[in-house]
């Protein structure tokens, strides 16, 4: 049977390049407890094995989707043991539901913006200023 060779651990600069996060942000994530303990090489430099890089990407996604720092920290502190799967999944499910609610609000707001764009294009097509539309009193849609 052939041995499966995992890619080697990479340094902080490579993780920065892979994720688009600055090295300062990665260090901050570590200081704030948003990442499990980052391994260090014999020279004391951070070494991120593939699993750690995937976890950085998860944290990046959680933060980008608005998960509070405290919730990310709680997720990390739960650890990866079998006994924490339900709690971790529940935290992620709650966050996913919150993201879905925000997306729906954004969709509604986007519809209002698109309606306003169509309104202004219609006014231009008809050669009207906003004030002309309602007798000089201003734009009722503003």
User: Given 3-state DSSP classes, what are the helix, strand and coil percentages for the chain, each rounded to the nearest 5?
Assistant: 65, 5, 30
Interval 17-23 mean pLDDT: 96
Residue 62: band (very low, low, confident or very high) from pLDDT cuts 50, 70, 90: very high
**Would you give the DSSP letter of residue 38?**
P
Residue 79's pLDDT band (boundaries 50, 70, 90)? confident
Q: Give me the half-sphere count of Cα atoms (radius 13 Å) on the Cβ side of residue 7.
A: 11
- How large is the average pLDDT for residues 64-70? 96
Averaged pLDDT for residues 122-130? 90
Least confident of 11-15, 88-92, 110-114, 135-139: 135-139
Whole-angstrom Cα distance, residue 113 to residue 117? 6
Is the predicted pLDDT of residue 59 greater than 80, yes or no?
Answer: yes
């Amino acid at each position: 049977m052939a041995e499966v060779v995992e890619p080697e651990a990479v340094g902080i600069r490579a993780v920065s390049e892979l994720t688009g996060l600055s090295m300062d942000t990665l260090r901050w994530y570590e200081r704030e407890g948003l990442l499990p303990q980052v391994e260090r090489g014999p020279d004391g430099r951070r070494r991120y094995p593939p699993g750690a890089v995937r976890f950085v990407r998860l944290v990046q996604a959680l933060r980008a989707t608005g998960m509070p720092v405290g919730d990310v920290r709680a997720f990390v502190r739960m650890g990866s043991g079998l006994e924490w799967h339900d709690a971790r999944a529940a935290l992620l499910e709650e966050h996913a539901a919150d993201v879905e609610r925000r997306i729906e609000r954004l969709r509604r707001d986007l519809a209002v913006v698109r309606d306003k764009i169509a309104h202004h294009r219609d006014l231009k097509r008809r050669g009207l200023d906003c004030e002309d539309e309602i007798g000089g009193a201003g734009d009722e849609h503003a």
